[in-house]
Structure 1
């Protein structure tokens, strides 16, 4: 197996970056953040210690599962995140 081709030395010109003002920054390739983007965001409060995941069988309404699946890849993680938030709010 090959060693990864990485370097600890940054190739960023930090003096140039530090000298820049807000007006010098080109945001033309960054989309404007819209209220819809915020509506679809997930708030994560700090990093939790890694816990062991267990496989379970859970009965949920089909429209609920369809809604989560329609949100795309990672729907099971989203369900877990919401359940964790509910759990923490009720501790």
Structure 2
């Protein structure tokens, strides 16, 4: 079933009512520009050498063999390629 959703915006009066509710909440904290600038970002810190996302095709039996080893199979596949590079010269 492919229904189109109709989005409606709040009227200016509704927006004002919502804002009054926010302003009257004693737990609402709106940081100053200075406080905001000092806040630390959420999430993981950036890696010094982040991984590169790419699309690659492997034979199905190779992928299944790694997947069969359970969670973390992509890391093990990466490690196997790294190990190969240590013993072979890349062309």
TM-score normalised by the chain length of structure 1: 0.42
Structure showing greater radius of gyration is 2
More helix by share: 2
TM-score normalised by the chain length of structure 2: 0.42
